[in-house]
Amino acid sequence: MFNYDFMRYAFIAGIFIALISCVMGVFVVARQTSFFTHTLSEIGFSGAAFGVFAGISPLTGMLIFTMTSAIFVGLSGEKVGRREASISVFSGLFLGLGILFLSLSDKQASYATNILFGSIVGIDINNLYTLIGLSVLLLIVVSVLFRRLVYNSFDSQGAEYNQRYNQIVSIIFLVLLALTISITAQIVGALLIFVLLTIPASAAKYFAHTLWKMIGLTFIFVLVGIWLGLYLSFVTDWPVSFFITVIEALFYGAAIVKERMSASRL
């Protein structure tokens, strides 16, 4: 298996995807932005399709579309109803645009499938370097803003006292989320990125009682899901996103069982 370059690249990429997914996933769960994460993945699909249509890198198209959308939604205000309305508009509009861009391009249907659901053979050395560079950049920004993000995410009532600064932090978080989605799409695919950003962290919160333990467990869940999914995909020739989704769902199911068993003892 490791005789193939693309498999070695995919396993290395999985480490960095797990790193950014565990950090961002914890904040996605804490801030209850799973719906927007799913919507950004649809917008990412549209951006990748635009990249194919325009003759540029699909990753570049994803970055343009997702980051622009993240900034717009962040500026729309903190009220839930207002934000969800903006998200719904973007979701429908960009999903339709993605289909249009693919239909206007000269790429085959299999290329669209790779964008939507990921492909382990689609990672070359240049993709790997780009992924590592963007991942390191994201982790540096998160480390600089970590304390503020924790305060903004886990103590939203306290953060409301400084509305302007709170909105700035929220916009930065959404931009980082857009960057995370664009990075992870190369393996998982545009439509299933939210799996890595929601399910592992949601499962980890049932096992961990501190933030750092939650981040650590999320990293393990994501990395095991990606590596085992890559192996099973290589052996069976089934989509890697299918295996990753099933594995993460099993982790979440185990977390629910553990929580119910703990509750029954009380």
With CA atoms as reference, report the closest residue to 73 among 186, 218, 170: 170
CA-wise closest residue to 204 among 218, 223, 183: 218
How far apart CA 110 and CA 2 sit, in angstroms, is 25
- Paired tokens of 103: 């239909």
pLDDT value of position 225? 94
Q: d(Cα 126, Cα 9) in Å, to the nearest integer?
A: 10
Please identify which residue in the block is written with the tokens 């920004």.
141
CB–CB of 76/82 below 8 Å? yes
* Total residue count of the chain as it appears in this document: 266
> What's at 249, amino acid-wise?
A
Q: Provide the pLDDT for residue 231.
A: 93
Fold of 5-265: ABC transporter involved in vitamin B12 uptake, BtuC (1.10.3470)
Structure tokens at 194: 């939210």
Angle, vertex CA 196, rays to CA 77 and CA 205, nearest 5: 80
Closest CA to 222 of 187, 261, 190: 187
- Structure confidence at residue 81 (pLDDT): 46
Taking only Cα atoms into account, the Rg of the chain, rounded to an integer number of angstroms, comes to 18
Measure the CA–CA gap between 220 and 211, rounded to whole angstroms: 14
Which H/E stretch holds residue 191? none
Q: How far apart are CA 127 and CA 107, in angstroms?
A: 20
pLDDT (tens place) for every residue of the chain, 266 residues total: 788 888 899 899 999 999 999 999 999 998 888 888 888 888 888 888 888 888 888 888 888 888 888 888 777 765 544 556 666 776 778 778 888 887 887 665 556 566 667 666 667 888 889 889 989 999 999 999 888 888 877 766 555 555 666 778 888 888 999 988 888 776 677 767 888 999 999 999 999 889 999 999 999 999 999 999 999 988 998 888 889 999 999 999 999 998 888 777 65
Residues 6+ apart with CB under 8 A from 157: none
pTM for the structure as a whole: 0.84
The span from the CA of 230 to the CA of 146, in Å, is: 31
Q: How far apart are CA 3 and CA 7, in angstroms?
A: 8
Residue 238 falls in which region: left (phi positive, over 0), alpha (psi -120 to 50) or beta: beta
Backbone angles phi, psi at 32, to 5 degrees: 55, 50
Cα end-to-end distance, the chain, whole Å: 48
